[in-house]
Amino acid sequence: MNIATTRGATKSSMSLPNILTYARIAAVPVVVGCIYAQSIMDQPLWLRWVAVAIFIAAGVTDYLDGYYARIWNQQSAFGRMLDPIADKLLVASCLLILAADGIIHGWSLWAAIVILCREILVSGLREYLAALRVSVPVTKLAKWKTTIQLVAIGFLLAGEAGDQVVPVITQIGLLLLWISAIFTIYTGYDYFRAGIHHLIKEDEG
C-alpha cells in the first residue's frame, strides 16, 4: 500500500492531525508553568519568551492539524471533538494565569471574563445542537476573532519581557484583548441565536 493510500485510510486517534492536537493540549501546562515560575516564583524573565514560543507553536498546530486532516483525508469525529477542546483549554488557561500574574487586571478582567463566558456558552450550544445533528459553520468574523485573541494572548504572555524590548507590548495586548472581547460578544450572539432558533423549533414540533 502506498503512502497516499495509507494516509487517506488512517483516521485513528493516532493520526498526525490528532497528534498535533495532543501537542496543543500538552503545551498548556508548559506555558502556564513558565508564566507561573516567572511571575509567582520570581524566576528569570526569559521564561516568558519560552512561554511565547511554545504558545506560537501551539497556534501553528491549530492550523496544521486541520490542513493535514483535509489534504490527507484524515478528518474524524474524534478530531472534530478534540480540536475545539484543545483550543479552549489553551485560551482559558492562558487568560487565567495572566490574571493571576496581574498582566490582565482592573477593567481588562471584564474582557477576559467575556471571552471565557462565551467559550462556555458556545460549548454548551454546540453540544445541544450536535444532539439535534445541527452544525453551525464557523464564520469569517469568528476566525478573525480567534486570530486577534491569540495575538493578544501572545503579546500579554511576553508581558514585562516584551516591554523591555518595546515599551507598549502589554498595552497592545490589552487593546487587542478588548477588540477580541467585542468580536466575541457578536459571534457568541450568532451561536446563541442559532441555538434558540432550533430550541423553539424543537419545542413547537
Neighbours of 168 (CB within 10 A): 12
**Residue with C-alpha cell 514585562?**
160
Classify residue 104 by its DSSP letter: S
Rounded Cα gap, residues 150 and 6, in angstroms? 34
Model's pTM, two decimal places? 0.84
The pLDDT tens digits of the residues spanning 149-198 come to: 999 999 999 999 999 999 999 999 999 999 999 999 888 877 777 677 66
pLDDT at 4 (0 to 100): 43
Classify residue 7 as exposed, middle or buried by CB count within 10 Å of its CB (0-12, 13-18, 19+).
Answer: middle
Q: How many helices (H) and strands (E) does the chain have?
A: 7, 0
Rounded Cα gap, residues 136 and 125, in angstroms? 10
| Phi then psi dihedrals of residue 2, to 5 deg | -80, 170
The pLDDT tens digits of the residues spanning 190-202 come to: 777 767 766 666 6
C-alpha cell at 158: 511576553
16-204 belongs to which CATH class?
Answer: mainly alpha
The pLDDT tens digits of the residues spanning 16-75 come to: 777 888 889 999 999 999 999 999 898 999 999 999 999 999 988 878 777 777 787 767
Q: What are the structural domain ranges in the chain?
A: 16-204
Region of 102 on the Ramachandran plot (φ > 0 left; ψ -120 to 50 alpha; else beta)? left
CA dihedral 71, 75, 81, 86 (to 10 degrees): -30
Rounded Cα gap, residues 111 and 5, in angstroms? 47
Residue with the bigger pLDDT between 88 and 137: it is: 88
Report angle CA 152, 144, 189 to the nearest 5 degrees: 100
Q: How far is CA 156 from the centre of its chain?
A: 15
The pLDDT tens digits of the residues spanning 84-121 come to: 888 889 999 999 999 999 999 999 999 999 999 988 88
Classify residue 12 by its DSSP letter: S
Return all residues near 90 (Cβ < 8 A) that are at least 6 apart.
24, 25, 27, 28, 31, 55, 58
Residue with the bigger pLDDT between 109 and 127: it is: 109
C-alpha cell at 2: 502506498
Region of 138 on the Ramachandran plot (φ > 0 left; ψ -120 to 50 alpha; else beta)? beta
